[in-house]
Structures are given as structure tokens and as C-alpha cells.
Amino acid sequence: MVLLHLSDKQKEKISLLNTFDEKIIREFCRISTESINKEINTKAISNAAAKLNIQPPDLKELIELITWIFLENARLDLNVKELKESLLLVGIKEEIFSEIELNAKTNQNQLQNLIDKTKIETLSYDNLEWRVDIKLATRSLLEIVEPEIVFKFDLKKGDERRVTKVLQTDVVNLNYLTNSLENALNEIKSNYCRKVFRNIV
């Protein structure tokens, strides 16, 4: 089962959602849906916040929370059970969930299309070939040794198309690249990076 991973701050905002009735949550959902395609109207937020007797920044964060739920639901392609489990576990009321779930599912296909259009296309490793070229002499220098390493990377795009990249470097730069990549791998193993990856993958 796939579940939403809410931050501690988002969990706090969930409890604030529970203080409103279904009609107001329905309006929040409408504004959240509109905000995906255009910027939130600050004046409208201020007017609504005054009527609800809450601070405009708090209302804006609630709208952003619902928007995030809609987008994550679409990105992860959650079914009703998974979405319900995710939100009930963090304390959302059943009737509030019903309003959010209705709007999330109504807009799911549209949001998935939007995510597909805006996502960054990444390349994945498929194969590597390499060779060492050594320059032993030139017209002006009869005895030199200049090793160079040539790499041919085969990479795959998301649609399985293959892309080939050829790179050439010397030993000094190769050592620098190797050390940088090793440092990056060690950084990925840190608790902070693992926490970030849980929320974006």
C-alpha cells in the first residue's frame, strides 16, 4: 500500500481543517483546484480569512495543503483506500475526507496529465565502455606521456530511447570526478537525504 508522507507542519494544519464544516472545505477544494493553474488571489484569501476569523497566512497554508494532497494523490496514483488511510492516520475527520476525496478523484486525470507535461525528463545508466589513449610524442616533443581516458556512456530516456554520450578527460580530472561522486554517494546515505527522497520519489 502506498501512503502520503505528511510533514509535522502539514499534520498540524490537518487538525485545523477539522474545525470547518463540509461546505467550507468544499470551497477550499475549489480554490485549491483553481490555484494549480493560476496564482492564489491574495485579496480573495484575505476576505475569506476575515469571514472565517483566521489569519490570511493560515488560510493560504490550508489551501496549499489541499493542493499538495491533490497533486500527490495524482502523482502517486492512489486509490480511494490508500488516500483515506493516509489522511485518517493523521487525524482528519471522515466527513472532511469525503469532500477532499471527491475533489481529488474528480481532478486526478487532469492533474496526472499536467504532471506528465511538466516533469523533468531524466536519463538512466545503461552501459559504459572506456579506453585509455596515450600520447607518446609530438613534432616538438619526442618523448612525452600524456594519458587520456575516453568514456562512451549509453543512457536511456523514460521512453526507452537510447542516448550515447562520449566524454574525454585526463587523469587529474578523472580523480577529481571520482572523489566528487564518492562524496555524493556518501551524502545520499545521510538521514537528511533519505528523508527528502521519501517525499519526492
Name the CA dihedral angle for 84, 49, 53, 21, rounded to a multiple of 10 degrees. -30
Distance set, CA 137 to CA 61, 75, 142, 173 (Å)? 67, 58, 5, 22
Q: Are 36 and 29 in contact (CB under 8 A)?
A: no
| Cross-sheet strand order for the sheet of 162-170 | 124-135, 146-156, 162-170
* Per-residue pLDDT at 65: 92
The C-alpha cell of 144 is what? 612525452
Task: Give pairs for 105-108: CB < 8 Å, separation 24+.
Answer: 105/80, 107/33, 107/70, 107/74, 108/73, 108/74, 108/77
| pLDDT average per 10 residues of sequence, the chain (201 residues) | 84 87 91 84 85 89 93 91 91 91 90 81 86 78 79 84 90 92 88 71 51
The reported pLDDT for the residue numbered 102 is: 92
Read off the C-alpha cell for 21: 464544516
What pLDDT is attached to residue 98?
93
Residues of the chain with CATH 3.10.450: 124-200
- For the domain made up of 124-200, the CATH class stated in words is alpha beta
Contact 169/148 with Cβ under 8 angstroms? yes
Nearest CA-CA partner of 17 in 105, 81, 98 = 98
DSSP string, 97-110: HHHHHHHHHHTHHH
